[in-house]
Amino acid sequence: MDLLILTCKRRHAPATTGMVPFVLAKLPPGTSQADAIEKARSGKTMEALAGSDGALVYDVALVQPVATAFTKARASSNISRVFDEALFTEKLLSLPRGRVTMKSVEMNVRVALLYVLHWLYEQGTVVVNGRVEDSATAEISRAQLWQWVYHRVPIEGTPEQVSASWVIVLLLLGFRLADDIVVLFAI
């Protein structure tokens, strides 16, 4: 994020950061609207303090909390900072260490699968676990799966590595992972 903000500032372009993907009416069980709003507000406050000029929201009910986060951050600090570009470039080019969780592999399969199925029914977005997913997040999910397969990334807590056959099995079991497919086919 810091390198993005630095590059935008250097080029006199607005440094906007990511979209808040929450859909408050479709949050997963156990997640309150207040918790989702607070998570959005705190995340965007951090981005505003880092120098972001703005962000997008999917749910109109989040416009005010996010706008307030940016307004307060601008009023409370001197955001223009000097960045060490070399440090951020190095961080951008280095791969993180660690393992991938089974939950993250399943979630990426679910997002990619549900997006494609919704796309076939001419719907440009799908809500998964209270978050809107679109072509961008479906592509990120696909790319992560490809990278994990290509680099044979270990799956945390198991002796397994992410493999093409493992992802294919998850896709074939996708109906188990994607309970909302039943709703999709009822359209």
Q: What is the mean pLDDT of the segment spanning 69-75?
A: 89
Question: What residue ranges of the chain are covered by domains with CATH 1.20.1220.12?
Answer: 102-185
Q: What is the mean pLDDT of the segment spanning 156-170?
A: 91
Question: Helices 85-93 and 2-10: crossing angle, nearest 10°?
Answer: 130
- pTM, entire model: 0.68
**Fold of the CATH domain 102-185:** Malate Synthase G; Chain: A; Domain 4 (1.20.1220)
Q: What is the pLDDT of residue 101?
A: 94
Q: Find, among 144, 132, 135, 139, the residue nearest to 19 by Cα.
A: 132
- 3 state SS of 38: helix
Q: What is the pLDDT of residue 95?
A: 67
Question: Helices 102-120 and 164-172: crossing angle, nearest 10°?
Answer: 50
> Where are the extended beta strands (E) located within 70-153?
126-128, 131-133
Q: What is the mean pLDDT of the segment spanning 123-127?
A: 88
